[in-house]
Amino acid sequence: MKKHFKIALAGNPNCGKTSIFNALTGARQHVGNYPGVTVESKSGWFSIGDIEIELVDLPGIYSLSSSSPEENVAFEVLTGKGIDLILNVIDSSIPRRSMYLTTQIAELHIPMMLVFNMSDDARKRGIKFDIGKLEKYFGSPIVQTVGRSLEGVKPLLDRLPKVLEELDNHGVPMLSYGSDIDDSISEIASRIDALNVKRYAHIPSRFFAVKLLESDSCTMKIPEFKPVWKDVVAQIKHLSDIHAIDEAHTFMADRRYAMISGAFRDSMSMTGEKRRQISDKIDSVVTNKVFGLPFFLLVMYATFWFTFTCADPIMGWIEAGFGALSEGIKSVWSAESFPYLRDLITDGVIGGVGGVIVFLPNILFLFFAIALLEESGYMSRAAFVMDGIMRRFGLQGKSFVPLVLGFGCNVPAIMATRCIESEKDRKTTIMVLPLMSCGARLPIYALIIPAFFAVQYQALMMWIMYLIGVVVALLGARLLKNTVFKGDGEVYLMELPPYRMPTFRSLLLHMWDRAKMYLHKAGTIILATSILLFIANTYPEKKVFSKDYDSLIETAYKAGSLSRDDVRILSDGNLLSADAIAEIEEQGTLSEDMIASLEEKNPNLAQEAVLEKSMELNSQISKLENEKNAEAMEYTISGRIGKFMEPFFKPIGFDWRLATASIGALAAKEVFVSQLGILYAEGEADEESVPLREQLAKNYTPLQGFCIMLFCLLSIPCFATLAVIKREMNSWKAMFAEVFALLALAYVSTFIVYQVGTFLHIGTKLVS
């Protein structure tokens, strides 16, 4: 007997197919994309005794048609070679609706096993099956499972070895569309047989004959079948004359459902109990016209809060861990030994990759929450509630979830678009998602708004920035659906499955899958871009400066260092430890942490004078060091590019410093703030830097401040977002189109605002 088998797992969305896949394969899974498309592929392996099985999880589909990329993929896989057995998973609580796909798969005459999943839900609804009759009708063995648990798939594992042993003797389905239609099918099948198409010799010609009668575009695209098109048209006309039908594919669909009803007429029974299902009671609230939307917004807020509240401390630990790793390498690696390589590894590689991995907790908790919503059944309700609103902008309800999550981070939000079945809606959502104000833009707003706007207007300005992003994203979606992704409105079957309690194991597997994808997709590209950005910010290295900064710093230390009397004053009152006193004597000044610690302990007047002396020295040293860094930065590739591009940025109110900071922000939006801090050589480079805000207020107007925020909001997103866009769209062309479109949008919008504001003298006066 053969010891290695390849099994395809097929079924409708929400039928529990993924739960069965996870239960069988556990962590032995590989996730990627099918070649040429963005549809997710998933393969896993498991063993039964000495039998090795590769399990291929096909995308959830409703038919082997061509209305979506998922159906195209399933068609190609199932009509290709190499599949030994098809496990057709069916939601046995709604069997008539679920088995439409079964009738199409059965016509392939590939050995098939029917998995009546969610059998516990079927029993609760009082549904009973005559398994023997159904097995005879479909020519396939049937097992009843509860895929949410490993124990629930035991009937499948027990039956599978015997089924694999008898593959050569699999049954034949008793499918009939009626004598007249069967005659037309036979006629077309004979024409196909005469063509002797070797590529599909393993598939019965009857399968393709039915698909041609349905005018299925997947089959119509097969060039080998072109010679029979005239015969197909003649048969369709013949059937239309007999049955007075308008469209062949709808007529064939009706006949399929009639076959299914006939199959279940004597093989399924339901109890007469008319009890109201718990799911219906919950849906009366969560899908209510009045309460549905507020409840959905509450759920989204809870998801958002859960993700970033739980992730925040872990992100801090990861950030501290990478910081400690960088400092540890610096402590054991002398600055005199290969200094450039040392800085590249610590500041470029560790800093760049660490900046991406720090978002991993967000990924984990986000997809834990999404998996909980999906597997519990609520995500279908959310799509139902938001569908009407989002369709006004050319999208569907499921697009709203990733858009909301984009306020936290665009990267996981783009990955969350995989819950959208429509390829056009998925791509449209991906393309507009970078317009949502992610958390990385918040430091920019927090720096600019307090610098240029009065306290009473600061909250309003923050709200306006977020609102601009939402409005432009929705208008952009409407534009894309009317142009690039133009097409007739697609109708989606919106299943409302019963609510279920997902297993913790399945949630963890879902998290693990997404974590691997995130690290693999974004991490590798970020590593390369971090190295490039480090080189651009470092080289060429300036050797000769306009000032002798080292001498100036040394002079400042000699003039402002603490004396022994100053140290004695600080040691009075036991406010500092012996180690701290020793450190002060060695450094000649107090660190920022020491100053903050002493200020909290209510120092006396003499001690305050010493603190002010150290603060003045630290400020002077910091200013000199930052002036040197700014001059060095202007000499680097990034600085030169900023100078070169200054004429381009000048019409939108940017000088070379803002241009350079905008380039640095491609790595991460927060870099915009730190780059400005270095370039302006004024204090610490972060959002809490009051001196930096004052310096900005001295050099720019409120109008320019608003234009800075507008440009950062609408312009090119960070490299991590671009990397994920490329991967999810599976297209370099789409990624570069996004880059140029957003750059053009940001530039034109900022140009109009700045020029109109300047003409009308709105916000054109310096604040200080």
Residue with tokens 């998602």: 433
Tokens of 95: 């069997």
What average pLDDT is seen over the chain? 80
Please, what is the Cα angle at 731 between 730 and 733, to 5 degrees?
170
Write the DSSP string, 325-361: HHHHHHHHS-TTSSHHHHHIIIIIIIHHHHHHHTTHH
Q: Are residues 558 and 638 in the same domain?
A: no
Backbone angles phi, psi at 180, to 5 degrees: -65, -40
Q: Are residues 253 and 334 in the same domain?
A: no
Domain assignment present for 604: yes
Cα–Cα dist 78/389, whole Å: 37
DSSP designation for 63: S
Cα–Cα dist 641/17, whole Å: 53
Domain assignment present for 424: yes
Q: Quickly count: other Cβ atoms within 10 Å of residue 768's Cβ.
A: 11
Cα–Cα dist 639/619, whole Å: 25
Domain assignment present for 697: yes
Share of the chain above pLDDT 90, in %: 14
Interior/surface letters 113-146, b for 16+ CB within 10 angstroms, e for the rest: bbbbbbbbbbeebebebeeeebbebbbbbbbbbb
Q: Are residues 224 and 368 in the same domain?
A: no
Backbone angles phi, psi at 66, to 5 degrees: -145, 30
Q: What is the SS3 assignment for 28?
A: coil
Q: Are residues 58 and 184 in the same domain?
A: no
Q: Which residues contact 215 (CB under 8 A, 6 or more apart)?
A: 236, 248, 249
- Strands in 29-33's sheet, in edge-to-edge order, are 29-33, 40-48, 51-57, 4-11, 85-91, 112-117, 142-144
Q: What is the pLDDT of residue 279?
A: 66
Average pLDDT of the segment spanning 152-161: 90
Q: In which band, very low, low, confident or very high, does the pLDDT at 721 lie, cut at 50, 70 and 90? A: confident
Cα–Cα dist 166/181, whole Å: 32
| 454 phi-psi bin (left φ>0, alpha ψ -120 to 50, beta other) | beta
> Do 125 and 294 touch, CB atoms closer than 8 A?
no
Q: What is the SS3 assignment for 33?
A: strand
Q: Are residues 298 and 265 in the same domain?
A: no
Share of the chain above pLDDT 70, in %: 85
Q: What is the pLDDT of residue 272?
A: 46
> Do 507 and 368 touch, CB atoms closer than 8 A?
yes
Q: Which of 610, 627, 644 is the last residue before a domain boundary?
A: 627
Give the pLDDT confidence of 635-678 residue by residue, as tens digits.
Answer: 888 888 888 988 999 999 998 888 888 877 777 776 777 667 65
Q: Which residues contact 584 (CB under 8 A, 6 or more apart)?
A: 562, 567, 570, 576, 590, 594
Q: Quickly count: other Cβ atoms within 10 Å of residue 293's Cβ.
A: 15
Helix (H), strand (E) counts: the chain: 36, 9
Q: Which of 627, 654, 674 is the last residue before a domain boundary?
A: 627
Cα–Cα dist 273/401, whole Å: 37
Average pLDDT of the segment spanning 365-371: 78
> Do 751 and 710 touch, CB atoms closer than 8 A?
no
Cα–Cα dist 474/157, whole Å: 48
Give the pLDDT confidence of 433-490 residue by residue, as tens digits.
Answer: 999 988 778 778 878 888 898 888 887 888 888 889 988 998 999 999 888 887 655 5
Q: In which band, very low, low, confident or very high, does the pLDDT at 27 lie, cut at 50, 70 and 90? A: low
Q: Are residues 157 and 112 in the same domain?
A: yes
Q: Which of 490, 515, 540 is the last residue before a domain boundary?
A: 515
Q: What is the pLDDT of residue 87?
A: 94
Range of the domain at 205: 179-270
Q: Are residues 613 and 694 in the same domain?
A: no
* Short-list 677, 687, 699, 562, CA closest to 625: 677
pLDDT above 90 for 754: yes
Domain assignment present for 54: yes
Torsion of CA 541, 543, 544, 547, to 10 degrees: 80
Q: In which band, very low, low, confident or very high, does the pLDDT at 751 lie, cut at 50, 70 and 90? A: very high
State whether the Cα torsion 31-33-38-41 is positive or negative.
Answer: negative
CATH of the domain at 199: 1.10.287
Q: What is the pLDDT of residue 742?
A: 95
Cα–Cα dist 194/182, whole Å: 18
Domain assignment present for 326: yes
Strand partners, 702: none
Q: Are residues 498 and 555 in the same domain?
A: no
DSSP designation for 691: H
Write the DSSP string, 717-755: --HHHHHHHHHHHT-HHHHHHHHHHHHHHHHHHHHHHHH
Backbone angles phi, psi at 18, to 5 degrees: -65, -35
Domain assignment present for 540: no
Q: Are residues 141 and 163 in the same domain?
A: yes
Q: What is the pLDDT of residue 529?
A: 62
Tokens of 246: 């308008």
Domain assignment present for 348: yes
User: CA dist 410 to 290, 431, 434, 717, 725, Å?
Assistant: 30, 11, 6, 9, 10
Q: In which band, very low, low, confident or very high, does the pLDDT at 690 lie, cut at 50, 70 and 90? A: very low
Q: Quickly count: other Cβ atoms within 10 Å of residue 290's Cβ.
A: 8
pLDDT above 50 for 276: no
Average pLDDT of the segment spanning 212-238: 84
> Do 293 and 146 touch, CB atoms closer than 8 A?
no
**Which amino acid is residue 354, in one-letter code?**
G
Average pLDDT of the segment spanning 57-64: 85
DSSP designation for 287: T
Pairwise pLDDT comparison (143 vs 511), residue with the higher score: 143
CATH of the domain at 10: 3.40.50.300
Q: Which residues contact 268 (CB under 8 A, 6 or more apart)?
A: 95, 127, 128, 129, 130
Q: What is the pLDDT of residue 457?
A: 83
Cα–Cα dist 578/597, whole Å: 15
Cα–Cα dist 142/144, whole Å: 7
Q: Are residues 300 and 245 in the same domain?
A: no
Domain assignment present for 286: no
Rg from Cα positions in the chain: 33
Average pLDDT of the segment spanning 397-409: 75
Q: Are residues 186 and 252 in the same domain?
A: yes
Average pLDDT of the segment spanning 558-587: 77
**Which amino acid is residue 167, in one-letter code?**
L
Q: Are residues 596 and 638 in the same domain?
A: no
Q: How many domains does the chain have?
A: 5
Q: What is the SS3 assignment for 115?
A: strand
DSSP designation for 225: G
Give the pLDDT confidence of 617-644 residue by residue, as tens digits.
Answer: 888 887 888 788 778 878 888 888 888 9
Q: What is the pLDDT of residue 560?
A: 81
pLDDT above 80 for 199: yes
Cα–Cα dist 734/43, whole Å: 27
